[in-house]
Amino acid sequence: MKAVLVLEDGTVFEGTGFGAHAENFGEVVFNTSMTGYQEILTDPSYCGQIVTMTYPLIGNYGINPEDMESRKPFGLGFVVREFCEIPSNWRSEKTLNQYLKENGIPGIAGIDTRALTRRLRNYGTMGGVIATGDKFDIEDMKKRVIGHPDLSGTDHVMRVTIDKSYTLHNDGYRVVLMDFGAKDNIARSLHQLGCEVVVVPATTTSQEVLALNPGGIMLSNGPGDPENVEFAINSVKELFGKKPMFGICLGHQIIGLALGGTTYKLKFGHRGANHPVKDLATGKVHITSQNHGYAVDAESIPKDEVAVSHINLNDGTVEGLRHLHLPIFSVQYHPEAAPGPWDSDYLFSQFIDLIKQERR
C-alpha cells in the first residue's frame, strides 16, 4: 500500500502505507521521544493532529493493553521513518499496524522524517493531509488541505472528555479530576498515593465539583487552544480559593487564563520526553515529558498574585505557576510521565501536602 503526506505549504512526502486505508486532515506535529509511541498515540492531547516520530524505528515492541493512556487513540495519522512489522516483546499482543487499522488511523513510513521535522521547526506546525491507498490526486489534495480548519479553530476537548463520572476508590483524600482529555496515569498517580479519585467530565460545573466534597481539585491535560474552553475557565474562576488546585498542561493554561493572563500559540510546540525545566525555587533542572502547542504569556500574569515557578530552558517559556495567596499551582509539563522521565512525580506529593495543610 502506498501513502502520501501533503502539507499546506505544498510539500509532498511519498512513502509506504500502514494502518488503515484512509484519508485524514490534521495539524502536523513532531514528537522527539525515543520510546512510548503507544502512550503517545493514546494521549487525548493529540486529538486533531498527525504525529511524526523523530526516532526512526517505531513498532518494534508492539502494542499491549497495559500501556494505554486513554480508551482509544485520538490522533489522525502516524508518520515514521522505519516501521517494524514484526515486534519482539513478551508483553506485545498485537502489531502497531493492526492497532492503527482497527482504529481507522492511516500511517506513512519510509519518508525523510528529519526533513519533515526541520520544515516544521523552520516554518511552524501546519495543516496536512495523510492518505493511504493506490492512487492519489496530489494537486487536489494540495487545494483541499489549504481550506481545512486548523487546530486553533476547533474545540477538541468535547471530543475527548468522558461522558459520565467514575471513581477510583481508596481510603485517602478525595480528589476531583476534571477531564479535559486526561491521560490515565494522572488518576493512577493520585490513586497510588492513596487518594480517592473522582474523574468528571469537562463540563462539570463548579457547584457540581464542590458538591462532591473533594479535598482537592486536579485540572487535566487536553487538546487544542485553551481559549476555546471558556466554560472551563469560568468554572475554574469560581473554584479559586474553595479547594487546593493543581493544573497540568491544558489545566495549567486554563488556570493562567482564569487568573487574567493570556496564552499564545508556539511556533512548533513542545512534544517529547527530554525537555529541560528549571524549578526557580530550588534551582534544580528536571527532564520532563511534554505535549502542548500553547503557552502562558509571562507578562500577562498579575505579579502581585501569581509567580512563575518553572521555566523551559530551551526557549524560556513559562512551565509553572504558583499563586502567592491561594493554594493553587500548575505546571505546563507532565509529572505523570507516560511516556517520559519521573523527575517531577514529586509534584503529586506536594499537591497532597497542600490538601493536608488546608484540612488542618
Tell whether omega for the bond before 339 is within 30 degrees of 0, i.e. cis.
yes
Round to whole Å and give the CA distance between 264 and 271: 16
Residue from 8, 39, 319, 336 carrying the catalytic annotation: 336
Distance CA 325, CA 186 (A): 26
Helix (H, G, I), strand (E, B) or coil at 191: helix
Answer yes or no: 336 catalytic: yes
Q: Rounded to whole angstroms, what are the CA distances from 337 to 84, 280, 319?
A: 25, 21, 15
Please provide the size of the chain in residues: 360
Closest listed residue to residue 1, CA positions, set 141, 137, 108: 108
Amino acid (1-letter code) at residue 168: L
Cell 488546585 belongs to residue: 245
The catalytic residue among 39, 249, 252, 323 is: 249
252 is catalytic: no
Q: Which residue in the list 156, 275, 323, 334 is annotated as catalytic?
A: 334
Joined grid coordinates for residue 12:
509532498
Whether 8 is catalytic is no
Q: What gap in Å lies between CA 86 and CA 75, rounded to an integer?
A: 23
Positions marked catalytic? 249, 334, 336
